[in-house]
């Protein structure tokens, strides 16, 4: 067997003393997020089937639900904006939500298969690990932005194609996906089993979607539902998307503020429950 | 810089600091006392084996040592660093191979090791070279760009060894490294560990079910049962206690006796489930 040196003499090993390797926290967090980001991109590149299958649902929503409800004209939209145009930012947020909710299942799978144990034994603080996973969900959901933008162009929906606004759209979707993946990972830390998480996930996905402004304006909802919608980060995400894509009046600063705070809270909650998954 | 922070990751360990010092460790899960007052230490460069039936508390002990869980009482230090107060530093010093198959099947071999090179903050300029180096050392040169889902069980295990070695650990922790492998692949993994030891003088802590392997590989052994260490010593010492011709299997039977049947009590069921899952993934 060839004698490959696995560890060179101490002279070069000195450069790897933990004290010099460990970056300060303000470099550690971006570095870990970037790492998980790159890994997620690799996974997407190796297996694109999910990209394609995930594209089916938003297409169906826009083509079937959207086209039909456009004809019925049951839902009031801001002047000059078709229902299809009004709906597409909502579907964008919804399909990102569906991807993100899957991440709790992924972390349970990684726990069962031993991947999580090993990740947690690396010099990666829990908060950094969860942040990395959350933004990996963001990367995956950006693909949905692309799908819906392309489809909207085909359907001749009049979006604001300002590149700066499109960047903002991507940012809002990434933040939304990061929050919902944290929500899912938090529930994973509570229920600990895939089957239970699937149940809970399905039970909360629909309310998150319907108790938001994704399909209809908040003002057509009954009062109690309006309250739910105001507490639902999804509504703020959709509001921001509509504002940037359609130019409808929206509170962008509030929207991004709520999303950012939701992400921070979500990361903290999921990270606090992570040790339960490590046991 | 104090002596404490200057400890190099891959360099020969400080003579004054024991690679592992574990004192009166206790861990319980609910009503189950998984580890019940365990003390042992490992000398620099030693291959130390933690043996015992399913649910004996081996994996729990290792999980405390690798900073994954916290002990109820007692302490473990790695090269003089407490696992509670200096967790990040301890993690930098350890290469860890968990009991389950832990490689990511959706990535290539190279990407799996590269991920850990990044998570251990290896300097950017040396990352690629180091990843190739450990992959070559584990004989995975030719397959490094293939998805791990196409690997055989033995290849996956060697890949995980490569992952555990990428940071030049001063202490290698192997939890049932050959579980679920066929005899040929098992022999291969042990051969690699032996080689590594000869080349680097690294300290190794391992757990195994296979007494024969423990006998030939470990310099010192602690036999655990019901969360306690029942006997400790070199394989020769342990066998000598039972008289001439005794094997480690005999020592194991003597210490553990017929008590194996009630392993369910101490979490053996969960252990078995985990083992089966690993075997399933190996196909």
Domain positions in chain A are 36-278
Is 70 exceeded by the pLDDT of residue B274? no
Average pLDDT over residues B27-48: 93
pLDDT at B281 (0 to 100): 58
Give the number of domains in chain B: 1
Strand order in the sheet with B81-82: B32-42, B20-29, B73-78, B81-82
**Residue B123 contacts A, CB cutoff 8 Å:** yes
pLDDT at A123 (0 to 100): 93
Answer left, alpha or beta for residue A95, where phi above 0 means left and psi between -120 and 50 means alpha.
Answer: alpha
Instruction: Count CA atoms within 13 Å of residue A48 on its CB side.
Output: 3
Confidence of residue B2 (pLDDT cuts 50, 70, 90): very low
Q: Do A114 and B102 touch (CB under 8 A)?
A: yes
**Residue A7 contacts B, CB cutoff 8 Å:** yes
Nearest to A118 among B98, B137, B165 (CB): B98
pLDDT at B246 (0 to 100): 81
Nearest to B12 among A10, A18, A278 (CB): A10
Buried b (16+ CB within 10 A) or exposed e, A126-162: bbbbbbbbbbbbbbbbbbbbebbbebbeeeebebeee
pLDDT at B262 (0 to 100): 47
For residue B234, give its domain range.
Answer: 20-101+172-282
The whole-angstrom separation of Cα A135 and Cα A118 is 20
The whole-angstrom separation of Cα A176 and Cα A96 is 8
Residue B251 counted as domain residue = yes
Buried b (16+ CB within 10 A) or exposed e, B167-187: bbbbbbbbbbbbbbbeeebbe
Average pLDDT over residues B218-244: 90
Assigned token pair, A1: 């067997």
Is 70 exceeded by the pLDDT of residue B48? yes
Nearest to B8 among A17, A121, A123 (CB): A17
Is 50 exceeded by the pLDDT of residue B253? yes
Confidence of residue B249 (pLDDT cuts 50, 70, 90): confident
Radius of gyration of chain B (CA): 18
Which of A13-17, B100-104, B165-169, B242-246 shows the lowest per-residue confidence on average (mean pLDDT)?
A13-17
Assigned token pair, A155: 């359907």
pLDDT at A128 (0 to 100): 94
pLDDT at B197 (0 to 100): 84
- Going A148 to A153 to A155 to A159, the CA torsion angle's sign is positive
Which residues touch B220 (CB under 8 Å, ≥6 apart)?
Answer: B42, B43, B46, B47, B48, B49, B232, B233, B234
pLDDT at B42 (0 to 100): 96
Q: Do B96 and A3 touch (CB under 8 A)?
A: no
- Name the residue in chain B with its Cα closest to that of A38: B115
Assigned token pair, B26: 């206790």
**Residue A206 contacts B, CB cutoff 8 Å:** no
Average pLDDT over residues B8-23: 68
Residue B43 counted as domain residue = yes
How close A251 gets to chain B, by Cα (Å)? 39
Confidence of residue B145 (pLDDT cuts 50, 70, 90): very high
Instruction: Give me the interface pTM, i.e. the ipTM.
Output: 0.86
**Residue A49 contacts B, CB cutoff 8 Å:** no
pLDDT at B270 (0 to 100): 56
pLDDT at A10 (0 to 100): 40
Percent of chain B beyond pLDDT 70? 85
CATH number at residue B180: 3.40.50.300
Q: Do A122 and B68 touch (CB under 8 A)?
A: no
**Residue A19 contacts B, CB cutoff 8 Å:** yes
Assigned token pair, A105: 């299942």
Confidence of residue B279 (pLDDT cuts 50, 70, 90): low
- Name the residue in chain B with its Cα closest to that of A276: B69
Q: Do A121 and B167 touch (CB under 8 A)?
A: no
- Name the residue in chain B with its Cα closest to that of A19: B5
Element (H, E) at B213: helix B211-217
Residues 9-38 of B with CB under 8 A from A: 9-12, 29
The whole-angstrom separation of Cα B55 and Cα B261 is 11
Looking at beta carbons, which residues of chain A come within 8 Å of B98?
A: 114, 117-118, 121
pLDDT at B4 (0 to 100): 40
Which stretch, A74-78, B102-106, B199-203, has highest mean pLDDT?
B102-106
Residue A92 CA to chain centroid, in angstroms? 11
Q: Do B69 and A125 touch (CB under 8 A)?
A: no
- Name the residue in chain A with its Cα closest to that of B61: A279
pLDDT at B273 (0 to 100): 61
Over chain A (279 residues), the average pLDDT of each successive run of 10 is 43 55 87 94 91 89 89 83 92 93 90 90 94 93 91 89 93 97 95 90 89 91 92 96 93 96 97 88
| Global model pTM greater than 0.90 | no
**Residue B94 contacts A, CB cutoff 8 Å:** yes
Residue B114 counted as domain residue = no
To the nearest whole number, what is the mean pLDDT of chain B?
85
Which of A24-38, B248-262, B268-282 shows the lowest per-residue confidence on average (mean pLDDT)?
B268-282
């Amino acid at each position: 067997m060839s004698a490959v040196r696995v560890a060179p003499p101490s002279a070069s090993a000195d450069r790897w003393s933990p004290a010099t390797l460990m970056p300060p926290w303000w470099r550690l967090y971006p570095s870990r997020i970037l790492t998980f980001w790159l890994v997620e991109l690799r996974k997407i590149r190796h297996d694109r089937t999910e990209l394609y299958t995930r594209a089916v649902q938003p297409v169906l929503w826009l083509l079937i639900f959207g086209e039909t409800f456009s004809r019925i004209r049951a839902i009031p939209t801001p002047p000059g904006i078709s229902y299809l145009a009004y709906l597409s930012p909502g579907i964008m947020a919804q399909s990102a939500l569906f991807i993100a909710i899957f991440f709790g299942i992924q972390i349970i799978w990684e726990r069962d298969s031993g991947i999580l144990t090993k990740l947690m034994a690396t010099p990666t603080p829990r908060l950094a690990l969860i942040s990395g996973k959350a933004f990996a969900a963001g990367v995956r959901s950006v693909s949905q932005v692309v799908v819906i933008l392309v489809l909207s162009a085909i359907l001749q929906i009049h979006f604001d194609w300002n590149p700066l606004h499109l960047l903002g759209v991507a940012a809002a979707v990434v933040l939304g996906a990061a929050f919902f993946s944290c929500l899912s990972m938090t529930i994973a830390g509570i229920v600990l089993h895939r089957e239970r998480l699937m149940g809970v996930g399905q039970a909360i996905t629909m309310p998150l979607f319907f108790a938001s402004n994704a399909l209809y304006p908040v003002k057509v909802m009954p009062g109690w539902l309006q309250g739910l919608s105001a507490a639902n980060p999804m509504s703020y995400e959709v509001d921001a998307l509509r504002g940037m894509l359609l130019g409808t009046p929206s509170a962008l600063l509030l929207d991004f503020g709520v999303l950012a705070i939701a992400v921070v809270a979500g990361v903290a909650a999921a990270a606090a429950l992570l040790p339960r998954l490590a046991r | 810089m104090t002596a404490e922070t200057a400890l190099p990751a891959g360099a020969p360990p400080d003579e004054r600091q024991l690679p592992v010092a574990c004192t009166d460790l206790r861990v319980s899960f609910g009503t189950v006392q998984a580890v019940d007052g365990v003390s042992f230490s490992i000398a620099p460069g030693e291959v130390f084996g933690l043996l015992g039936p399913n649910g004996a508390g081996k994996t729990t002990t290792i999980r405390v040592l690798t900073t994954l869980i916290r002990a109820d009482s007692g302490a473990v230090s790695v090269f003089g660093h407490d696992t509670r107060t200096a967790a990040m530093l301890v993690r930098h010093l350890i290469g860890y191979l968990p009991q389950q198959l832990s490689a990511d099947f959706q990535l290539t071999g190279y990407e799996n090791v590269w991920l850990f090179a990044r998570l251990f903050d290896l300097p950017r300029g040396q990352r690629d070279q180091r990843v190739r180096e450990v992959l070559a050392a584990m004989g995975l040169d030719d397959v490094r760009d293939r998805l791990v889902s196409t690997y055989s069980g033995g290849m996956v295990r060697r890949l995980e060894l490569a992952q555990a070695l990428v940071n030049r650990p001063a202490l290698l922790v192997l939890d049932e490294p050959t579980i679920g492998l066929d005899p040929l692949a098992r022999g291969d993994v042990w051969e690699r560990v032996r080689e590594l030891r000869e080349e680097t003088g690294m300290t190794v802590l391992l757990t195994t079910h296979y007494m024969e392997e423990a006998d030939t590989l470990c310099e010192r052994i602690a036999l655990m049962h019901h969360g306690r260490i029942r006997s400790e010593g070199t394989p020769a010492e342990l066998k000598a206690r039972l008289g001439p011709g005794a094997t480690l299997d005999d020592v194991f039977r003597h210490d553990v006796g017929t008590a194996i049947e009630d392993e369910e009590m101490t979490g053996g069921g969960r252990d078995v489930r985990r083992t089966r899952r690993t075997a399933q993934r190996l196909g």
